[in-house]
Amino acid sequence: MTVRALTLVGDRKLELIEAPAPPPPAAGEVQIAVKAVALNHLDLWGFRGMAFAKRKLPVVVGVEAAGEIAAVGDGVSRFKRGDRVVMYGALTCGSCKACREGRDNLCENVGGIMGFHIDGFARDRLNMAERLVIPVPAGVSLRDAACAPIGFSTVEHMLFDNAKLVAGETILVHAGGSGIGTAAIKMAKAIGCTVITTVGDDDKAAKAKALGADHVINYRRDRFETITRKLTNKKGVDVVFEHVGGEGFNGSLLVLKRGGRLVTCGATAGATITFNLMQLFQQQYKIFGSFGASMRNIRDGLAKMAAGLTPVIDSELPIAEFESALRRLESRHVFGKIIIGF
Ligand SMILES: [Zn+2]
């Protein structure tokens, strides 16, 4: 028996191979039939090749996914065949202080990020430890659930664990058409925040408005700093949701009100900047770096989906189009998440 596995064999070189099927799941493991993989910028980093990444090719790609339990090993109590699930995307140890406290993304002995350092989810079947598997609530499609382990949970962690966004606050969401940008707009609106967002074209501006954003700025036409300060009567926003970096980062600091919080999980426009430390402490800014999420964040994201706060899906494509989908993500011609069906 073999399974299909989409494998990165070199920088920007993917091959769909026939790999040996996994053995029956061991004690404490479940076997998962993957049904949907959602794309992330992490896939792009992996696809392009990163000089600093400690990993060996070939590696099966796919960093977040949903599927069905195909078999269970001895001692597995929480799942049975046919259950719909998502998987935590990093091999945490489950026993260090961070893991015991539920801060899974700060695991001290993490064995790598799946689909990036080690084999990921873009394959028909894989075995995983039961403790890293999370049930999908009734009423949530596997297509939507596939956006929970990274997309939705990253936003949960950024907005609520790190920036501690609360009702009534004003937030600037950068790149409101991206997978995490669309989720951030919906989650912030759902708790009663005022949302200002930036997009790169008028088509995306209309779509961001339709998601509930109160103000949409086309950053190619207008300076977001100027408009945001105008919209907030020069006071600035409570929170900036950053994942772009580069030149815009200083603008993001500029539009924070005194004591405001900036949370970031990305640097698609550039990883190195300079900023003014005087401004940082005088304005009493709080800057949070955020990477990944906890198992709890994934469960909370799925619960939101079950309650109707669903992810924005750009498109659903077959596995043969994984690479062209990555290129589309790279070109930023997407609004929401790209899903690869199995
Ligand atoms: Zn750990």
What does the pLDDT look like over 193-211, one tens digit per residue? Answer: 999 999 999 999 999 999 9
CA distance 77 to 240: 42
pLDDT recorded at residue 55:
83
CA distance 33 to 42: 22
CA distance 306 to 178: 22
pLDDT recorded at residue 52:
62
Q: How many CB atoms lie within 10 A of CB 173?
A: 31
pLDDT recorded at residue 51:
57
pLDDT recorded at residue 247:
87
pLDDT greater than 80 at residue 53: no
What is the spatial order of strands in the sheet that 256-264 belongs to? 215-218, 194-199, 170-173, 237-242, 256-264, 286-289
Overall average pLDDT of the 209-229 stretch? 97
* C-alpha 119 to ligand 1 mean position (Å): 19
* C-alpha 102 to ligand 1 mean position (Å): 9
* C-alpha 91 to ligand 1 mean position (Å): 9
Indicate the average pLDDT of the chain: 96
pLDDT greater than 80 at residue 288: yes
* C-alpha 88 to ligand 1 mean position (Å): 13
Query: How many Cα atoms sit within 13 Å of 54 on the Cβ side?
Result: 3
Residue type, position 236, single letter: G
* C-alpha 162 to ligand 1 mean position (Å): 20
* C-alpha 107 to ligand 1 mean position (Å): 4
* C-alpha 101 to ligand 1 mean position (Å): 9
pLDDT greater than 70 at residue 222: yes
* C-alpha 287 to ligand 1 mean position (Å): 25
For 238-268, the pLDDT digits (tens) are 999 999 999 899 999 999 999 999 999 999 8
For 54-101, the pLDDT digits (tens) are 788 999 999 999 999 999 999 999 999 999 999 999 999 999 999 999
For 107-162, the pLDDT digits (tens) are 999 999 999 999 999 999 999 999 999 999 999 999 999 999 999 999 999 999 99
Q: Helices 179-190 and 202-211: crossing angle, nearest 10°?
A: 30
* C-alpha 274 to ligand 1 mean position (Å): 33
Q: Quick one: which of 243, 288, 294, 242 has its CA closest to 89?
A: 294
* C-alpha 242 to ligand 1 mean position (Å): 27
Query: Which DSSP state fits 291?
Result: -
Burial code of 186-210, b = ≥16 C-beta within 10 A, e = fewer? bbbbeeebbbbbbbbbeebbebbbe
* C-alpha 55 to ligand 1 mean position (Å): 20
pLDDT recorded at residue 54:
76
